């Protein structure tokens, strides 16, 4: 304010000074005999361009740019207010482009870039082991035992501290006679000190907390949980809450920004690991002593790793698979399952929104080009009056900067909403994603950079073009300059081709993902995913003899079968969608093979299981009720296993045994069933063996009643859920029913990530398509306005409306097809990036490419239609008078 005041005061002074100069010059001329009017004119002429003299003088005051910027802003705002339609479209377009970028970056940054909020995160190292069982390419953290952790902690010479992070589990917490399930993480007593984090209130763990004292333990609450459940009441420190029925003393609360070491999840509370050996699987982290590099630390830790192996509880047979060698990984960014799953998709999405920003910028640039053309007269006059070209360019760029600024403001609003939505959609029923997304300072900084880029991209070229005028020519032209229109039009058409190409690339990518998702959803998983309900139950069999337990299962299946709408029912230990248990097998008459290759997954099932699941029986027979503890043990294997061991020979009648220390009967193979997917739809076929439940229990009696009741149904699954629950309860009211879900629901959850990524890419591709159509529409409309005169002449010379319509559509579609070809080439080139996410689709999938081309063409025709119709309706009389 004071600056502006000072500035205007000096400007007035300068006006006075120049005025006095002119007066004195005029007076002197009058004294020499000129008339007063003549003298004044001569004095002015002598001085030249008064405005420019003043401006040149004001220049030397310095700080001119501030005044100029302020003036430009005022002027720019006035111009934008004058054309609200243009402003709205431009701001909205930029808001979508910038907002999408800010939103994706707000996820990408905490997930992939940000370091843990702990002291010197770069010193942290993840200490783990790996072996041949690791899935290729994936980072895996083969858990260490808690005793391994102690060995690492006490025997290394390179870490200033070693701590352990246990698994996240659900704990029952009782408060005010209400029991809630909360997420808790067990951590070593030195967890917080090694990380170098401080409490918000109270204290964090100390090594002594690991000492189990008479069934009581300390607990540290997360800030969020404390805030949510205890209303940020600092007096809860010292209080005792029962966790899993163990009284725990609340000792402190972590700081708000601290979320542990797992990016993407955040425990509600931390519990001490305790000192009972072999009770927890943990992840071990070390903090390097200052100045020690990872390479320097390696030899020392290799020696410690040998000590770890010497005491490890992992059987030797398993070691080549998981403990073959020590792996040290820098852990400044912590661990993250979420990162593993979403690293590639997030990068792809970032690239996609980058392309969308390009499309948005090119749209706004188009609008600005058109505006520049409309303002040609004004600009020409200003240049003729002596305005500097750079000054005008600056003013026009300021206008685009204002647009971009408003776009960013709206975009950030969109982003903050979208960011929350995105984090929310990362969670599933069984995975709660917690990510410090939202609009952090880093996101704002990123947005500022995007904004600057946007201004350069969409503001500079139109400003340069608008001010490139030929004074003598353009002053004479009365309307929207016909001259030079060719080159300017070319700019617009180039933009359209570019936009179509970018859209095509994004659309093709989204199309491939959608096609892949469709494949995943309709893929033959080897069983019937639609009509099978999996009911997981768990209870105690206490007080029952093994015979009674068997009778219980038989009764359960019988009752379920008799429910209306049920076609068949069976019981298995695990759901068909989770291959949990694996063992090594030995086949009689087959040369011994290494343990890793003789690994099979297995499930124990009751009769009519395959019928219930809809798994085709290829050879032999299913289990029947005649297979029981008194008859010889039988097994069914899948096709892959049959091929693996028996090639083209029939496996029926061959004998097989589990290669474990435990006593197990030799089983006769009585059937071969088709392969199915067990864990993950993307897994390759693996060996699988089905064992008879009744026979297995005869060898390994289970005192608990637990398993999965598989029910094949007719019609609505939800309708049957409650009768089945009732049937279970009526048999044993103490039975816990964990879940009642169709296999489709279970599989769908495993497809959650695929669906999310496909949906996001789909939404973004739609956005790209809309922006492109708007751009196409704008360019063609502008071209029709420019060619009004020409169209009039054509019509006067006998062109029919249909010809004109075809002319405009043809002009548009030529550009679209050119862009389409370029975009398809771009999509083909970048499809390899998607390869890892695709299922059953190749990068160069003709169906997808043709499909999205058609979508794009149809949308483009719609965009061309309106301008073409307008051109068709041009009245030749009006048009000819138009210039």
Which parts of this chain interact with other proteins (CB under 8 A)?
A: 13-14, 16-18, 20-21, 23-25, 27-28, 46-49, 52-54, 56-57, 59-62, 386, 388
Distances in whole angstroms, Cα of residue 170 to Cα of each of 143, 184, 270, 271, 431: 19, 6, 11, 12, 11
Of residues 16 and 275, the one with the C-beta less far from other proteins: 16
Of residues 48 and 242, the one with the C-beta less far from other proteins: 48
Long-range pairs, 789-795, Cβ under 8 A, ≥24: 789/482, 789/879, 789/880, 789/882, 789/883, 791/871, 791/874, 791/879, 792/874, 792/875, 792/876, 792/877, 792/878, 792/879, 792/880, 792/882, 793/876, 793/879, 793/880, 795/874, 795/876, 795/879
Of residues 19 and 524, the one with the C-beta less far from other proteins: 19
Of residues 55 and 318, the one with the C-beta less far from other proteins: 55
Q: In angstroms, rounded to a whole number, what is the distance separating the alpha carbons of residues 611 and 673? A: 11
60: three-class secondary structure by DSSP: helix
Of residues 72 and 531, the one with the C-beta less far from other proteins: 72
Q: Phi first, then psi: give them for residue 271, nearest 5 degrees.
A: -120, 150
Of residues 42 and 657, the one with the C-beta less far from other proteins: 42
294: three-class secondary structure by DSSP: helix
Contact 148, 232 (CB under 8 A): no
Q: CB 464 → other proteins: shortest distance, Å?
A: 17
Q: CB 60 → other proteins: shortest distance, Å?
A: 4
Q: CB 459 → other proteins: shortest distance, Å?
A: 23
Of residues 17 and 680, the one with the C-beta less far from other proteins: 17
Report the candidate in 519, 596, 570, 607 with the shortest Cα–Cα distance to residue 709. Answer: 570
Q: CB 20 → other proteins: shortest distance, Å?
A: 5
Q: Is the dihedral of CA 127, 131, 134, 138 positive or negative?
A: positive
- Give the residue carrying structure tokens 């509880």: 313
Contact 386, 48 (CB under 8 A): no
Q: CB 33 → other proteins: shortest distance, Å?
A: 17
Q: How many CB atoms lie within 10 A of CB 840?
A: 14
Q: How many CB atoms lie within 10 A of CB 432?
A: 14
Q: CB 456 → other proteins: shortest distance, Å?
A: 25
Q: CB 15 → other proteins: shortest distance, Å?
A: 11
Of residues 54 and 655, the one with the C-beta less far from other proteins: 54
Of residues 10 and 842, the one with the C-beta less far from other proteins: 10
Q: Which distant-in-sequence residues (6+ apart) come within 8 Å of 231 by Cβ? A: none
Q: CB 66 → other proteins: shortest distance, Å?
A: 16
Strand partners, 283: 165
User: Residue 399: which H helix or E strand, with range?
Assistant: helix 389-426
Report the candidate in 530, 528, 521 with the shortest Cα–Cα distance to residue 715. Answer: 530
Q: CB 43 → other proteins: shortest distance, Å?
A: 9
Q: CB 17 → other proteins: shortest distance, Å?
A: 4
Q: In angstroms, rounded to a whole number, what is the distance separating the alpha carbons of residues 105 and 444? A: 10
Q: CB 835 → other proteins: shortest distance, Å?
A: 58
Contact 598, 556 (CB under 8 A): no
Per DSSP, the residues of 164-190 read EEEEEEEEEEEETTEEEEEEEEEE-TT
Report the candidate in 523, 526, 713, 666 with the shortest Cα–Cα distance to residue 610. Answer: 526
Two tokens at 329? Answer: 């990984």
Q: CB 32 → other proteins: shortest distance, Å?
A: 12
Of residues 47 and 456, the one with the C-beta less far from other proteins: 47
Q: In angstroms, rounded to a whole number, what is the distance separating the alpha carbons of residues 260 and 223? A: 11
370: three-class secondary structure by DSSP: helix
């Amino acid at each position: 304010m004071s600056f502006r005041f000072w500035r205007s005061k000096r400007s007035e002074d300068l006006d006075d000074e120049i005025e006095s100069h002119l007066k004195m010059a005029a007076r002197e001329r009058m004294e020499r005999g000129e008339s007063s009017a003549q003298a004044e004119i001569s004095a002015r002429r002598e001085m030249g361009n008064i405005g420019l003299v003043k401006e040149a003088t004001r220049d030397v005051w310095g700080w001119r740019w501030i005044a100029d910027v302020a003036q430009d802003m005022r002027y720019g705002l006035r111009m934008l207010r004058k054309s609200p339609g243009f402003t709205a479209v431009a701001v909205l377009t930029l808001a979508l482009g910038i907002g999408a970028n800010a939103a994706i970056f707000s996820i990408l940054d905490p997930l992939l870039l940000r370091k843990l909020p702990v002291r010197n995160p770069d010193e942290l190292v993840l200490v783990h082991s790996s072996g041949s069982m690791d899935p290729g390419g994936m980072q895996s953290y083969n858990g260490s035992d808690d005793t391994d952790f102690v060995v690492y902690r006490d025997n290394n010479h390179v870490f200033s501290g070693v701590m352990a992070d246990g698994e996240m589990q659900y704990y029952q917490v009782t408060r005010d006679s209400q029991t809630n399930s909360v997420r808790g993480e067990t951590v070593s007593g030195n967890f917080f000190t090694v990380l170098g984090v401080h409490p918000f209130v109270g204290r964090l763990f100390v090594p002594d907390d690991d000492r189990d004292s008479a069934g009581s333990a300390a607990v540290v609450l997360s800030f969020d949980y404390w805030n949510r459940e205890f209303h940020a009441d600092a007096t809860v420190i010292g209080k005792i809450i029962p966790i899993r029925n163990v009284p725990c003393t609340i000792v402190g609360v972590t700081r708000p920004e601290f979320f542990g070491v797992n990016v993407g999840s955040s425990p509600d509370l931390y519990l001490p690991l305790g000192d009972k050996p072999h009770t927890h699987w943990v992840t071990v982290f070390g903090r390097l002593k200052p100045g020690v590099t990872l390479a320097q630390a390696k030899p020392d830790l290799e020696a410690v790793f040998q000590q770890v192996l010497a005491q490890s509880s992992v059987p030797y047979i398993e070691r080549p698979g998981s403990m073959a060698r020590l792996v040290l990984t820098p852990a400044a960014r912590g661990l993250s399952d979420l990162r593993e799953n979403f690293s590639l998709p997030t990068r792809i999405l970032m690239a996609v929104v980058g392309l969308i920003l390009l499309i948005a910028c090119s749209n706004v640039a188009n609008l600005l080009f058109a505006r520049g053309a409309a303002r040609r007269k004004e600009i020409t006059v200003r240049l003729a009056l002596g305005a500097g070209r750079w000054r005008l360019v600056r003013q026009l760029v300021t206008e685009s900067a204002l647009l971009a600024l408003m776009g960013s403001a709206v975009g950030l609003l969109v982003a903050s909403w979208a960011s929350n939505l995105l984090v929310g959609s990362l969670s599933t029923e069984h995975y709660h994603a917690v990510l410090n997304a939202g609009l952090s300072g880093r996101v704002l900084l990123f947005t500022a950079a995007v904004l600057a880029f946007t201004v350069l991209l969409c503001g500079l070229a139109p400003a340069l073009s608008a001010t490139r005028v030929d004074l003598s020519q353009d002053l004479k032209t009365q309307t929207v300059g016909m001259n030079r229109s060719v080159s300017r039009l070319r700019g617009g058409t180039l933009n359209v081709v570019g936009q179509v190409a970018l859209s095509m690339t994004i659309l093709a990518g989204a199309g491939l993902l959608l096609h892949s998702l469709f494949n995943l959803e309709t893929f033959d998983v080897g069983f019937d995913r639609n009509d099978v309900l999996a009911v997981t139950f768990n209870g105690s069999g206490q007080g029952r003899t093994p015979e009674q337990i068997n009778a219980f299962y038989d009764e359960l299946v019988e009752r379920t079968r008799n429910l209306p709408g049920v076609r068949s029912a069976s019981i298995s230990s695990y759901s068909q969608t989770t291959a949990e248990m694996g063992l090594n097998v030995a086949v009689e008459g087959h040369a011994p093979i290494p343990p890793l290759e003789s690994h099979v997954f297995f499930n124990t099932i009751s009769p009519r299981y395959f019928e219930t699941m809809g798994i085709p029986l290829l050879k032999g027979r299913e289990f029947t009720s005649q297979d029981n503890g008194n008859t010889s043990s039988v097994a069914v294997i899948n096709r892959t296993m049959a091929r693996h061991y028996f090639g083209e020979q029939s496996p029926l009648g061959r004998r097989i045994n589990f290669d474990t220390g435990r006593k197990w009967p030799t089983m006769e193979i009585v059937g071969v069933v088709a392969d199915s997917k067990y864990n993950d739809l993307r897994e390759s076929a693996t060996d699988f063996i089905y064992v008879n439940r009744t026979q297995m229990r005869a060898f390994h009696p289970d005192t608990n009643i637990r398993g999965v009741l598989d029910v094949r149904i007719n019609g609505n699954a939800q309708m049957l859920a409650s009768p089945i629950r009732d049937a279970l309860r009526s048999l044993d009211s103490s039975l816990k029913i964990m879940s009642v879900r169709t296999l489709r629901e279970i599989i769908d959850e495993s497809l959650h990530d695929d669906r999310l990524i496909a949906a996001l890419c789909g939404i973004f591709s739609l956005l790209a398509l809309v922006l492109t159509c708007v751009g196409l529409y704008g360019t063609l409309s502008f071209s029709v306005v420019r060619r009004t005169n020409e169209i009039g002449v054509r019509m006067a010379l006998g062109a029919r409306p249909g010809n004109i319509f075809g002319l405009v559509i043809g002009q548009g579609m030529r550009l679209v097809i050119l862009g389409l070809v370029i975009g398809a080439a771009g999509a083909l080139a970048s499809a390899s990036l998607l390869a890892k996410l695709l299922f059953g689709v190749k990068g160069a999938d003709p169906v997808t490419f043709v499909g999205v081309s058609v979508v794009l063409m149809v949308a483009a025709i719609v965009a061309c239609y309106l301008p073409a119709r307008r051109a068709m309706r041009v009245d030749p009389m009006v048009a000819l008078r138009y210039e």
